[in-house]
Chains A and B, each alone.
Chain A
């Protein structure tokens, strides 16, 4: 977005230079002469109009030439000065400063408080605010941002050492009180209003957060929490200005300049999008960790336009009017074959596509195992994934820090065996028959199975494939229903009964998407009896089915055990054991193969933007916080 200015005022207030006046007069004179000549008597022999026109044209040409010469000289001089300045401060071929990074999102944000809302506000929570750390998921490393160090004093005490000299956008210093307030705020807000993303269990362990001096903040927890560090790099713990947020009753919905201390200032936000301008007082990162530079960021402005239609956004990338489109599927990649302005990068895909079980009906492990064995993996990868697919694990395979299961390991669980599947399904159905009508609502799946999905082409294709594959193998009708996202969420979370309105809930496309690296919240939360397994899938402690309760207790205990294990190797072992148990029991959800490669469409001018983590949780709205990013034509 450009600087807003009223056209009429601009027109009224426009200054006319002497040369401009001469040129304009010349044009006017020439035009008038031509008109006069044209309107005159055709038979008139008086040719005085012609010299007048010629003279006027000559005047105009002279004025234009003078203007052009002078402008060219001025431009050349300015360019030379600029080039000299650039040469003085930047190494040849290295990062350039300046320019506007152009991104897009499909709709307006649903609020700007980083601790409460998350939909559509990623560019603000990641760029207008700063964080203690930045976690590079692909590398499994922490980069220091607002903190210059931290110490896990014991299993329930964490001390942060803060960077000095940080300022909010209004010039006020970032104090240890602000940071302590930032960490203490999400649990309070959660208790009041509920979080939109992080479940209660991710905040409940926090007890007393206090500033112990000007540069140190101490976190005291009610119980050990091995997962604490990674979330400190997420939007919930974006550092806020205590004074300004308290003035809004502890919420940061109405953004006021000075609420954040991040690399960019929110300069505009309206129905057309958001515009961020580089923070001139942004703090330096001496000896920067990965993703940061000493005097970043290099890019001056970030423009995020609202473009509801992805086709339009793709066209804008193709014409060089956008710098990032985001995830492309393998067929879309071909559309960019001859376009120099666009660079297509392949990166390991995250995300997943699952069929969630209703634990009220799929309480018999044989029924769940039958689903796993009735799914034709090879055909799915060949058709839906266009030959480029791989198996997904309960904890995503892209989480390199915690994942030990290989594709070979996973292949031992994901075996297509329709004969065995049918036998398991029929055995479970036979037992259901003996239970009679008392358990009818729990046993209806053996007559027909409803797969419920979102009205989305990819998700419907996945569901249709699943329905076909499972129907053929199990001899029971599997059919697909779909709804808009809101209705789907409503159906998924409805807990008015101990069975769901659907039987299998299809979720996710398995293309793009990623992990923020926190095992407790990413992916494993789908099995956790306190998280998704409670709210969506009926695999929780309140279940009326003893076999489900037994499993929920095992999963819950292992989740709790990995949460309190600070030794990384020991924690990874617990997580691996947990994954094996989940796969053995096809627990809570059935995971279908994901895309192996995700393709990212970015403009060719964008450099060092952190490709490998693009599909992880940092790049919402196609804006990825990486201060080393720069634009080649800036």
Chain B
């Protein structure tokens, strides 16, 4: 197990390195550069050369890439290309907490809603409650979160003249106000995520329900609750864990939309703005941070497998 974790940890920087290279190439191939975004108009295109020199964009792509990489190895993420050219680390530091908070809250809500729905749906398969819950999960999977988010803003305004958007307040400033702000984007992201979880829980549990050892457990006279929670649910958790881990990627992607709709200054919004302005030091940093978070979560999920199913060994 320890060797496995060490191998995975060693592989992470290599994967990030390859990703950074590919990402940089893609950004470089894309027409235009940050100088255009800075100039932000179609006047005096000739001055772009001056701006390119100012921003260091006149250098060959590999020089720019290895220059950036060298600085990263020394702990310097560089400066944003957008004036006033603040350090990327400052921008990330200012926003990463907000996105992590939304992500964690989303996973928590998703699990709290998705797991019971999946269990109930499996236990009461082919009943009215199962059909109702399955319909709700299909809606959750089908409806895009940006649409749900927009409705959550628009309908309360129409009905009650109220909307859930407030000036952003960080958790350290005022936890209650902060939670009242982030709960909405988290709930929207969690709705889709919970729907997936519920469906996976249901199908995994149904697979296990008719297995021999479950029949044996019942034959021993165990109460149905014990059979379900100890023998069925625990065994069916492996695919559920996998799905929850994978959903983190979707949640991070969804943060771009949720943060935009709810005007929350997070990493998703930073990435959106940076992509639009071709601010490659920021784009690279944000994408690689997202990738790193994703890798850590998948590693954690893999480790959790051994706890859930002792038969699994690395």
Which residues of A approach B to under 8 Å, CB–CB? 1-2, 4-8, 107-108, 110-113, 116-119, 192-200, 253-254, 270-272, 303, 305-309, 311-312, 315-316, 318-321, 339, 341, 484-487, 489-495, 531-532, 535-536
Known: A195-B44, A535-B44. 19 other contacts (CB 8 A): A6-B173, A7-B172, A110-B37, A192-B50, A199-B43, A199-B44, A200-B44, A271-B94, A306-B265, A308-B259, A308-B269, A308-B272, A309-B150, A309-B261, A311-B150, A312-B165, A486-B276, A489-B39, A493-B45
A-B pairs, top 7 by smallest CB distance, nearest first, are: A194-B47, A111-B83, A271-B265, A493-B45, A490-B32, A308-B260, A319-B163
Looking at the assembled complex, report how far the CB atom of A261 sits from the nearest CB atom of chain B, in whole angstroms. Answer: 21
Which residues of B approach A to under 8 Å, CB–CB? 30-32, 36-48, 50-51, 54, 82-84, 91, 94-95, 150, 153-154, 156-158, 161-163, 165, 167-169, 172-175, 259-263, 265, 269-270, 272-273, 276-278
B residues near A485, Cβ cutoff 8 Å: 276
Q: How far is the CA of A119 from the CA of B270 in the complex (A)?
A: 17
Q: Quick one: closest B residue to A5, CB to CB?
A: B173
Q: Quick one: closest B residue to A117, CB to CB?
A: B83
Given A194-B51, A307-B263, the answer on whether A108 and B83 have CB atoms closer than 8 Å is no
B residues near A112, Cβ cutoff 8 Å: 84
Q: How far is the CA of A486 from the CA of B37 in the complex (A)?
A: 6
Q: How far is the CA of A110 from the CA of B35 in the complex (A)?
A: 12
Q: How far is the CA of A112 from the CA of B261 in the complex (A)?
A: 26
Q: How far is the CA of A200 from the CA of B153 in the complex (A)?
A: 45
B40:A318 contact, CB within 8 angstroms: no
Query: Can you offer 11 A-B residue contacts whose CB atoms are under 8 A?
Result: A111-B84, A116-B83, A119-B40, A194-B46, A196-B40, A198-B43, A308-B273, A312-B261, A315-B153, A531-B43, A535-B45
A270:B31 contact, CB within 8 angstroms: no
Q: How far is the CA of A495 from the CA of B47 in the complex (A)?
A: 13
Q: How far is the CA of A308 from the CA of B36 in the complex (A)?
A: 20
A311:B153 contact, CB within 8 angstroms: yes
Looking at the assembled complex, report how far the CB atom of B39 sits from the nearest CB atom of chain A, in whole angstroms. Answer: 5
Which residue of A272, A535, A536 contacts B168 across the interface (Cβ within 8 Å)? A272
B36:A490 contact, CB within 8 angstroms: yes
B175:A321 contact, CB within 8 angstroms: no
B residues near A193, Cβ cutoff 8 Å: 47, 50-51, 54
Q: How far is the CA of A192 from the CA of B47 in the complex (A)?
A: 9
Q: How far is the CA of A200 from the CA of B43 in the complex (A)?
A: 9
Q: How far is the CA of A531 from the CA of B46 in the complex (A)?
A: 12
Which residue of B30, B42, B91, B150 contacts A489 across the interface (Cβ within 8 Å)? B42
B residues near A535, Cβ cutoff 8 Å: 42-45
Taking each of A271, A491, A532, which has the highest tally of chain B beta carbons within 10 Å of its own beta carbon? Answer: A271
Q: How far is the CA of A5 from the CA of B170 in the complex (A)?
A: 10
A2:B43 contact, CB within 8 angstroms: no
Looking at the assembled complex, report how far the CB atom of A102 sits from the nearest CB atom of chain B, in whole angstroms. Answer: 9
Q: How far is the CA of A308 from the CA of B156 in the complex (A)?
A: 20
B residues near A111, Cβ cutoff 8 Å: 82-84
Looking at the assembled complex, report how far the CB atom of B91 sits from the nearest CB atom of chain A, in whole angstroms. Answer: 8
B residues near A110, Cβ cutoff 8 Å: 37-38, 40, 82-83, 277
A residues near B277, Cβ cutoff 8 Å: 110, 486
Q: How far is the CA of A272 from the CA of B264 in the complex (A)?
A: 8
B residues near A321, Cβ cutoff 8 Å: 163, 165
Q: Quick one: closest B residue to A270, CB to CB?
A: B94
Looking at the assembled complex, report how far the CB atom of A338 sits from the nearest CB atom of chain B, in whole angstroms. Answer: 9
Looking at the assembled complex, report how far the CB atom of A407 sits from the nearest CB atom of chain B, in whole angstroms. Answer: 29
Given A199-B44, A307-B263, A536-B42, the answer on whether A4 and B165 have CB atoms closer than 8 Å is no
B84:A253 contact, CB within 8 angstroms: yes
B residues near A315, Cβ cutoff 8 Å: 153-154, 157, 163, 165
Q: Quick one: closest A residue to B263, CB to CB?
A: A307
Looking at the assembled complex, report how far the CB atom of B9 sits from the nearest CB atom of chain A, in whole angstroms. Answer: 32
Looking at the assembled complex, report how far the CB atom of A103 sits from the nearest CB atom of chain B, in whole angstroms. Answer: 13
A308:B44 contact, CB within 8 angstroms: no
B residues near A1, Cβ cutoff 8 Å: 167
A residues near B150, Cβ cutoff 8 Å: 309, 311
A residues near B162, Cβ cutoff 8 Å: 319
Given A6-B173, A272-B167, A319-B157, the answer on whether A309 and B43 have CB atoms closer than 8 Å is no
